[in-house]
Amino acid sequence: MSDMSVTSAPSGTASFLRRALRNRSFMVGLVITLFVAAIALLSFVWTPYDITQLPVSERMKPPSATHWFGTDHFGRDILSMIMIGARNSIAVALVAVGIGMGIGVPLGTIAAARGGWLDETVMRFNDIIFAFPALLSAIMITAIFGPGAVNAIVAIGIFNIPVFARVARAGALALWPREFVMAARVAGKGAARITVEHILPNIVSLLLVQGTIQFALGILAEAGLSYVGLGAQPPMPSWGRMLFDAQTRMIVAPYLALFPGLAIVITVLGLNLLGDGLRDLLDPRLNRER
């Protein structure tokens, strides 16, 4: 039952695709997410304007046919900056999810496999990290190494560790008493081998759903960090930094604050819808949990 993962049988794949196409929140989320990713990739080869140029004559122009989203106080095209900012947001959030999974999942699965004092230690370690919101970690890291995008990645990544450790542990604990795991133990497989061969494949869907949620949270956290100056540094455009710059100019140019904010909302909304949809698709039993 729980081995109905994405990669089961060809017929399973076909029925999965059929269900995916019918799942509205999955499809809407997927389209938005792919759109944002495509914009970020496109920005590597093309943006409407070159944002390293600072044309004085184009400063603070409201949205128009030539500059769809207007220009900022340096005359830079807002649309181009948002496109490049998408790269930064996605990169930071993605690597932070990678850090969280890379460390959290082994911790969680080991804790579940061994139990006892090791489990207790991992859980208490989680408690400690949970006491540090990403912003506080970022503040400490910045106080030491100075501001930069890497700090944001590390701070958000650290915050993700206990999240994935808990999800992996809970998922693994539910699997250990199951018959197919028992069978593997009877067959003489060790805890490590069972974890890799039987536990991990069966918690992939849980991790995927959580990964999508953490990705969305990472985008929000990165925006907050760069808004207070603890994330990407100028001239690298980032959505949070653009909102910071917009704040003091809001009376004359409210559009400066509108578009970067919308970019964040749309991206996060897309990822959340994708996560909700994935949850429904990958494990119908999970529906009732939220």
Partner 1 sequence: MTRYVLRRLAIGILTLVFASAVVFFVMEILPGDPARLMLGLNATEDAISALRQQMGLDQPVFVRYLAWIGGLLVGDFGRSYTYSVPVLELVTERAAVSLPLAFLSLILLTVIAIPVGLFAAARRGRAADAIVMGLSQMGVAIPNFWFALLLVYFFAVWLRWVPSGGFPGWQSGLWPGVKALIMPAVALALPQAAILARVTRGALIDVLGEDYIRTARAKGLPRNQVLWRHALRNALIPVLTILGLQFAFLIAGTIIIENVFYLPGLGRLIFQAITQRDLIVVESVVMLLVASVILVNLVVDLSYAIVDPRLRGAR
Q: Is 115 helix (H, G, I), strand (E, B) or coil?
A: coil
| Shortest CB 208 distance to partner 1, Å | 19
Cβ contacts of residue 238 below 8 Å, gap of 6+? 85, 88, 89, 149, 222, 223, 226, 231, 232
Give the nearer residue to partner 1 in terms of CB position, either 190 or 254.
Answer: 254
| Shortest CB 213 distance to partner 1, Å | 10
Give the nearer residue to partner 1 in terms of CB position, either 49 or 259.
Answer: 259
* Whole-Å CA distances, 220 to 90, 167, 217: 11, 21, 5
Cis peptide before 201 (omega within 30 of 0): no
Q: What is the dihedral of CA 45, 47, 49, 52, to 10 degrees?
A: -60
Q: Which is nearest to 162 in space by CA: 138, 132, 137?
A: 132
| Shortest CB 257 distance to partner 1, Å | 5
Give the nearer residue to partner 1 in terms of CB position, either 204 or 282.
Answer: 282
| Shortest CB 27 distance to partner 1, Å | 15
Give the nearer residue to partner 1 in terms of CB position, either 124 or 186.
Answer: 124
| Shortest CB 7 distance to partner 1, Å | 29
| Contacting residues toward partner 1, per CB under 8 A | 124, 127-128, 130-136, 139-140, 142-144, 216, 220, 223-224, 227-229, 240, 243-244, 246-247, 250-251, 254, 257, 261, 264-266, 268-269, 272-273, 288-290
Cβ contacts of residue 261 below 8 Å, gap of 6+? 239, 243
| Shortest CB 229 distance to partner 1, Å | 7
Give the nearer residue to partner 1 in terms of CB position, either 135 or 236.
Answer: 135
**Which stretches does DSSP call E strand in 63-200?**
none
Give the nearer residue to partner 1 in terms of CB position, either 54 or 228.
Answer: 228
Residues in the chain: 290
Cα–Cα–Cα angle for 88, 102, 278, nearest 5°? 75
